[in-house]
Each structure stands twice: as structure tokens, then as C-alpha cells.
Amino acid sequence: MNAVKTPLFGLAWLVAIVLGARVLLSYESSPGCIGTIPKSWPSESKLEPAIGRPTLVMLVHPQCPCTRASINELAKIMARAKGGLQAYVLIWQPPGSPADWANTNVKTIAQSIPGVRVLNDVNGEESRRFGAETSGHTVLFTATGHLLFSGGITQSRGHEGDNVGESAIISLLDDEKMAAPRSTSVFGCRFATRPGKTDLWSK
């Protein structure tokens, strides 16, 4: 009897591993939600767009583990831009959360990037203005305030490396008329969907 149970147990374990791997791959490659993206700089935003150069805004969930990859890709973009780009990283802070809720390593890493201004997005007001619903959503505007790019700058959740979004932004910074993708999927944790709902790990 034991001789029969051993191979059956091994088969069951193999099936569990395969199914688990499929679920993980599906999760990593599942894009997040995207809201209504403004075609020009939102007039109600409290942020000041740069004068004479493009402005980039990334909206992030500070407790999303996937977002570290997006922040690291942003660092590469800023290094390539060589001062020709103003960037904001807005740290989503849900209603009713404590003051230090957003103080995570995601915020710390963003603050270390030259040329990036990091601000708390209290109650997600700016996220709504820019149409972001998923952490890592990045929007790029021209010096005159027109939308150039909207989307994510990672290929999947938590994946660092070359990707369409990052390449598109770098190309558009070199030439705004470049035939580059103007939108990509966003991979990260979803922000709250209702006022007062923190929903930290909603995807």
C-alpha cells in the first residue's frame, strides 16, 4: 500500500507546484485598473508643472511591494533625462490613515532619486485628478501641458528591466513626435476605490 501512496503523493505535489506557478504567473502579468486620464495638465491639481521642460508624475501605493520596481525604473529614466525632466512621485495616503503610514522604503527610495520631488497624496486627491487607480501609474506631459504618455514602466508586477513604457518615455523626451507607444498597462496594487476604504492589498 505504501508503495502506491508514495508515487500518488509525489504526483499530487507536482500538480500543486504546477498550479501554483500558473497562478503566480497569471497574477504577475495581470494589469491593474486605469481611470480617465486627462489630455492636458489638470487645472485643479495643486502641483506646479515645470516651466520649459516636460513634467512626469508617478502615483504610488507606499505599501505595494510591486512598486519598488517602478521606482527603480524611474531612477533610470531620470538618469537618462540629465536634468531635462521635472518629476513628482505622489505617495497615496488613504483617509484616516496615521501620519507615518506612507513612510515606507518605497518613499525612501523615491526621495533618493535626483530631480524627483516626493509628496504625500493625502486622501488620493491627486491620484483622482490624474486618473490613476493602480500604483506605479506614470503620466508625462509636455512643457506646454499636453499629455504625452500614460501607463506603467514595468513589464509585469515587480519586474525590473527593459520595458515598453520606460523606452517610450525616453524616446518621447528626445523627440515628442517620435512614433513611440503613448500608453501601456500598469502593474501594481490598486488604490482605494471608495472614500474611507484603505483596501491595502486590493488588486
Strands (E) in 8-156, as ranges, are 55-60, 86-93, 116-122, 137-141, 147-151
What's the pLDDT at 129? 96
pLDDT digits 0-9 by tens, 32-70: 888 999 999 999 999 999 999 999 999 999 999 899 999
pLDDT digits 0-9 by tens, 87-104: 999 999 988 888 788 999
Domain spans of the chain, in order of start = 1-30, 31-203
Cα–Cα distance for residue pair 84/175, rounded to 1 Å: 12
Cα–Cα distance for residue pair 38/55, rounded to 1 Å: 14
What's the pLDDT at 4? 54
Cα–Cα distance for residue pair 187/155, rounded to 1 Å: 8
3-class DSSP state of 138: strand
What's the pLDDT at 40? 97
pLDDT at residue 27 greater than cutoff 60: no
pLDDT digits 0-9 by tens, 138-164: 999 999 999 999 999 999 877 788 899
May I ask the CATH architecture of the domain 31-203? 3-Layer(aba) Sandwich (3.40)
